[in-house]
Amino acid sequence: MEQSIVKGDVLDLGCGRGSVGAFLRTIDPEIRLVGVDTVTNYQGENAYNVYAEIRTSDAEDELNSIFPKGAEKYDLIVSCGLPPKILSRLLTNENLLKVLKPKGAVLFIFDYWDNKNNVLSSLIAKGFQFRGGKHFVDQYILFWQDKSND
């Protein structure tokens, strides 16, 4: 992972117990993490609870609520281990890239995915990079970074 993408405001979709946030903080302890998950009632007991804010919400609903307000933008949107149907819907949601700051990045890590080929070809056309992971729990990695100059 390029270290420069882990900075500022980070949105973790499907944050679960927060292991991704804890890992990202080892790269940059200053990041401000917002976590979203449909199940969040165990977060308070979580040893990895390093999130400034946890929202109990469907990941796609959250994107659809953030974008129209316009004020909330992220340097990094990260997601690890979402179920395949949720993942496919999220990646084809036009609001995903609209809530990124200039030079912001999207990083999705997953180990299974139905309907992969249809979604993949459209994502690659939008500039996503698709890679195989090195570990059995992160076989696939999708990455996109805004290249605008402003």
- Catalog residues that contact ligand SAM under the rule CB under 6 A: 14-17, 19-20, 36-39, 58-59, 80-83, 86
Distance CA 42, CA 48 (A): 11
The dihedrals phi and psi of 69, each to the nearest 5 degrees, come to -70, -35
- Taking CB positions, which residue lies at the least distance from ligand SAM? 16
Tokens of 3: 């270290």
Residues forming beta bridges with residue 79, ordered by sequence position: 108
| CA distances for 62 relative to 52, 67, 68, 96, angstroms | 16, 9, 11, 10
9 or 43, CB closer to ligand SAM?
Answer: 43
86 or 141, CB closer to ligand SAM?
Answer: 86
In the complex, the smallest distance separating the C-beta of residue 110 from ligand SAM, rounded to whole angstroms, is: 9
- Dmax (CA) of the chain: 42
In the complex, the smallest distance separating the C-beta of residue 49 from ligand SAM, rounded to whole angstroms, is: 12
21 or 104, CB closer to ligand SAM?
Answer: 21
19 or 49, CB closer to ligand SAM?
Answer: 19
In the complex, the smallest distance separating the C-beta of residue 128 from ligand SAM, rounded to whole angstroms, is: 19
Q: Are 5 and 145 in contact (CB under 8 A)?
A: yes
In the complex, the smallest distance separating the C-beta of residue 27 from ligand SAM, rounded to whole angstroms, is: 15
